[in-house]
Amino acid sequence: MSSTETVAENRIYNDAIDKEEIIDDWQLDMNFHVFSKHTRQTISAQDTLVHLECVEQLTPVDMMNLANGEHDATGHCVWMGAFLLLDALGVLLQECFTGKRILELGCGTGIGGIGLMCAHEKERRPSYVLLTDADPDALQVCQRNCQQHNQLSENKYDIKELTWGEPLSPENLNASFDTTLATDVLYDIALLPPLFQTAHSALKANGLFVLSHVPRACYSSQHPPVDDLDQYIIDQATHNGFLLHRHIFPNQLPREFRTKESLNESVSLTDMQEVGASLFVFRKAPEK
């Protein structure tokens, strides 16, 4: 075989390897939702129905990506902690939300903020809601969900990307909110400190942080498991400049606000009580 033939053969061989590599590398962004199907669901929030585009559950691919830190698709589902917040609006609305500037952290589909802006008559709603999340895809879903609700044209709201622990821009975020809100965001307890830091720096003096919490696996490669999760959350809050103001359990809520057609029909307050869900209301501690 001549050297020219060898070069030509090698080129063919290399081309084949290149092709193989191209075939092997599907070049799929791991943040894809091939198996996820967004559907439109109806959720009852007090006396209002909220219509949300969301996925009913995470796919095995989503779970793998979440576990190995590749991508967090949890923002495409609606979570039990959000239902707990909606059920508790009757007892929290006046003190925490009516007429207030609200920052929602980890908003996902937008269920919490949208629930606040749609439920109840206009006079009892927040004056402004900023819905935020680290996941730009979830924020697009949130944007579409906001656009589904005519009532929101009467509300002032914005949607922004925000990752906990990152510095807030001084002009429109820092120390400018009356209440920060987060529902069902504690599935990795290593994220508690940045969550509290962001909630703290966004709040005005004496501001409130409403945390609707459902115990999850709380896995973290960087953190050992804790024995008493509620106490651990309270300790972290204290460490990050908060005082516990109220701790509300599902069985203390006056009644459930559910309708038959709603997605949350299957999750009762009794279920939530049994799994150890609760609502923490923290107050920003005075500066020393």
In this complex, which beta carbon is closest to ligand SAM, that of residue 178 or of residue 184?
184
Q: Which of residues 29-88 bind ligand SAM (CB under 6 A)?
A: 72, 74-75, 78-79, 81-82
Token pair of 124 as six digits: 């009892």
Near ligand SAM by CB under 6 A: residue from 49, 66, 134, 234: 134
Distances (CA, A) of 2 to 137, 226, 232, 246: 56, 70, 74, 85
Site string for ligand SAM, 135-154 (x = CB under 6 A): x--x----------------
Token pair of 267 as six digits: 């999750």
Near ligand SAM by CB under 6 A: residue from 41, 92, 130, 133: 133
111 binds ligand SAM (CB under 6 A): yes
Grouping H, G, I as helix, E, B as strand and the rest as coil, residue 244 is strand
Q: Which of residues 174-213 bind ligand SAM (CB under 6 A)?
A: 183-185, 191
Task: Kindly state the smallest distance separating residue 225's Cβ from ligand SAM, in Å.
Answer: 19
Binding footprint of ligand SAM, residue count (CB under 6 A): 22
Please give the Cα distance from 236 to 232 (Å, whole number): 6
In this complex, which beta carbon is closest to ligand SAM, that of residue 27 or of residue 266?
266
Q: For residues 200 and 240, is the Cβ–Cβ distance under 8 A?
A: yes
Task: Kindly state the smallest distance separating residue 137's Cβ from ligand SAM, in Å.
Answer: 9
Please give the Cα distance from 202 to 212 (Å, whole number): 18
279 binds ligand SAM (CB under 6 A): no
Task: Kindly state the smallest distance separating residue 95's Cβ from ligand SAM, in Å.
Answer: 21
Judged by phi (left if over 0) then psi (alpha if -120 to 50, else beta), residue 120 lies in left
Buried b (16+ CB within 10 A) or exposed e, 79-89: bbbbbbbbbbb
Task: Kindly state the smallest distance separating residue 24's Cβ from ligand SAM, in Å.
Answer: 30
In this complex, which beta carbon is closest to ligand SAM, that of residue 83 or of residue 128?
83
Q: What number of helices (H) and strands (E) belong to the chain?
A: 8, 9
Token pair of 174 as six digits: 């820092």
Cα 56-113-85 angle, rounded to 5 deg: 75
Give the residues lining the site for ligand SAM (CB under 6 A).
Answer: 72, 74-75, 78-79, 81-82, 106-108, 111-112, 133-135, 138, 163-164, 183-185, 191
